[in-house]
Amino acid sequence: MENSVIIGLQWGDEGKGKIVDLLAKDFDVFVRYGGGANAGHTVRFEDKHFALHLLPSGIIHPNKICILGNGMAIDPFSLIAEIETLKSRGVKINGNLFISEKAHLVLPHYQILERLRESGTHPLGTTGKGIGPTYEYKHSRLGLRMGDLLYEKTLKEKLKNILEPLNFLIKNYYKSEEIDLEVSYSNLLSISEKLRNYLVDTSTLINSFISFGKKILFEGAQGTLLDIDHGTYPFVTSSHCTIGGALTGSGVSHKSVKKCIGVVKAYTTRVGKGPFPTEIFPPLSDKIRNRGNEFGTTTGRPRRVGWLDLVALRYAVNINGIDEIALTKLDVLDELLDIQVCTKYRERGTEIYSLPSQWEIMEKLVPEYEVLPGWSCPTTSIKSFMELPKQAQKYIEFLEENLKVPIKMISTGPRREETIFR
Ligand code: GDP
Ligand code: IMO
Ligand code: MG
């Protein structure tokens, strides 16, 4: 298998974790390049169930190298907890995990700031993991990076530079309790020893793995419509979840990625606020949510549910240069008599085939649907495309024709074995 990137083409939770796990045997090195513990990637096999937040899904496979790239926002306390939990479940993390010195540190203060903002009048419905403020400080060039944990003296100076103005804001604007510099500093010092040995220049490391012919899988988090530039701004995350982010966030060139695999759920979900043209409502949304177990892996929030949106998917395919698609959760549609697929929008009577950049306009779009017949039978144990009910085959072919990308994997259940390869 050539070096590949896995990218979600919707609003996250497409099933990226399952697809990475499925392909893991063909790769040597797994790289997370963006986001942080806002991600929740689920892997299920046999009677096992893993929810990964910061570590790539490849970590549960023995003898694989895992890397947290420079584009990530890493909460060191969550990271240590995740490492400990996985170790206690028998996952080997010793010499196979490397973390970029340049990845940004999520400080507890950022979570406090995010909470204060989200309790105001314009919440975005974030995961509360401090992701937005971390990238904000990164881009203001005040942020702390993982490597700063190794320099005790300058760490305190840098922390002070962040905390003084932040405390002013917290105290005077949010009327909340100030954050104590000494406590924050000693908390960070208490964990820096635990992380020291993982920290390296991961860009150089990944590039040398590439030059030795190791196979790399770049594991995307979130999804294209949550990208800070290309998503439904401002109802997005704060990182680049699209192909550009994979390169910048790992420090490799465009020549390093040979294949871009888009993961698409057979319908759509989104967590948090923001426009969602194909959203559906109770009782049908409840039925799909329950059947698909659509509750956030990170926050447990019920996911909003909608029909597949081909306008948004075409946009995502183009932005990322998708070579092939992994279609997940087909089984969740098994009981539906009819399945709707949005092929275009209307805005005040005019047909629209692209995503407006203003969310206010996007919220007013009226989706136009093609209705396809359902198959009304279980698909989970089916092993080949030709054995799928004819209507399910038609549904898949309809998506391929409209997106002009082959659907090479079809997932019909959460477990590894519940997958059809074409
Ligand atoms: P990710 O963030 O893209 O990795 O996706 P999540 O793990 O947050 O959410 C996907 C959920 O769907 C997880 O609970 C998976 O176990 C589950 N899942 C993945 N593929 C399938 C599938 O084909 N069918 C069903 N029923 N569940 C699936
Ligand atoms: P995975 O990798 C689904 C959403 C949040 C919120 C918005 C901003 O599991 O697909 P943030 O905490 O990032 O500032 O929140 O982005 N969001 C996700 N939704 N899956 C994710 O990750 C998400 N990561 C962030 O719900 O709407
Ligand atoms: Mg998820």
Q: Which two tokens stand for residue 420?
A: 């059809």
Q: What is residue 108's three-state secondary structure? A: helix
Which ligand sits closest to the CA of 22? 1
Core vs surface per residue 205-226: b (16+ CB within 10 A) or e = bbbebbeeeebbbbbbbbbbbb
CA–centroid distance, 304 to ligand 2, in Å, is: 13
pLDDT in tens, 104-162: 999 999 999 999 999 999 999 999 999 999 999 999 999 999 999 999 989 999 999 99
Answer whether residue 345 shows pLDDT above 90.
yes
Query: Hey, whose CA ends up nearest to atom 5 of ligand 2?
Result: 126
127, 357, 314, 320: which is closest to 237 by C-alpha?
127
Give pLDDT, residue 375.
98
Residue 230 annotated to the active site: no
Q: Which atom of ligand 1 is nearest to the CA of 39?
A: 2
Q: Which atom of ligand 1 is nearest to the CA of 298?
A: 8
Give pLDDT, residue 70.
98
pLDDT, mean of residues 333-351: 96
Task: Determine the angle formed by the axes of helices 152-172 and 181-196, rounding to 10 degrees.
Answer: 140
Answer whether residue 231 shows pLDDT above 90.
yes
Query: Hey, whose CA ends up nearest to atom 27 of ligand 1?
Result: 414
Q: How confident is the model at residue 298 (pLDDT cuts 50, 70, 90)?
A: confident
Residue 13 annotated to the active site: yes
Q: How confident is the model at residue 297 (pLDDT cuts 50, 70, 90)?
A: confident
Answer whether residue 332 shows pLDDT above 90.
yes
Give pLDDT, residue 76.
97
309, 312, 330: which is closest to 409 by C-alpha?
330
CA–centroid distance, 223 to ligand 3, in Å, is: 9
Interatomic CA distance for residues 351 and 348, integer angstroms: 9
The residue to mutate among 329, 333, 383, 409, having the most atoms of ligand 1 within 8 angstroms of its beta carbon, is: 329
Task: Determine the angle formed by the axes of helices 181-196 and 76-88, rounding to 10 degrees.
Answer: 40
pLDDT in tens, 349-385: 899 999 999 999 999 999 999 999 999 999 999 999 9
Which ligand sits closest to the CA of 220? 2
User: Is any atom of ligand 2 closer than 6 Å to the C-beta of 226?
Assistant: yes
> Which residues on neighbouring strands pair with residue 6, listed in sequence order?
219, 261
Instruction: Count other Cβ atoms within 10 Å, centred on residue 160.
Output: 12
Q: Which two tokens stand for residue 280?
A: 């559906």
- Calculate what percentage of the chain has a pLDDT beyond 90: 98
Give pLDDT, residue 384.
98
Name all residues whose Cβ lies below 6 A of ligand 1: 8, 12-18, 40-42, 44, 292-293, 297, 328-329, 331-332, 411-414
Can you say how many angstroms the Cα of residue 243 is from the centroid of all Cα atoms in its chain? 13
Q: What is residue 391's three-state secondary structure? A: helix
Give pLDDT, residue 178.
95
Instruction: Count other Cβ atoms within 10 Å, centred on residue 378.
Output: 13
DSSP state of 180: P
Q: Which atom of ligand 1 is nearest to the CA of 44?
A: 16
Q: How far apart are the first and last CA of the chain?
A: 15
0.85 exceeded by the pTM? yes
Query: Hey, whose CA ends up nearest to atom 9 of ligand 1?
Result: 13
Answer whether residue 22 shows pLDDT above 90.
yes
CA–centroid distance, 305 to ligand 3, in Å, is: 14
The values of phi and psi at residue 394, to 5°, are: -65, -40
User: Is any atom of ligand 2 closer than 6 Å to the C-beta of 40?
Assistant: yes
User: Is any atom of ligand 2 closer than 6 Å to the C-beta of 271?
Assistant: yes
Q: Nearest 10 degrees: CA dihedral of 13, 17, 23, 25?
A: 180
Q: Which of 21, 41, 109, 331 is catalytic?
A: 41
Which ligand sits closest to the CA of 228? 2
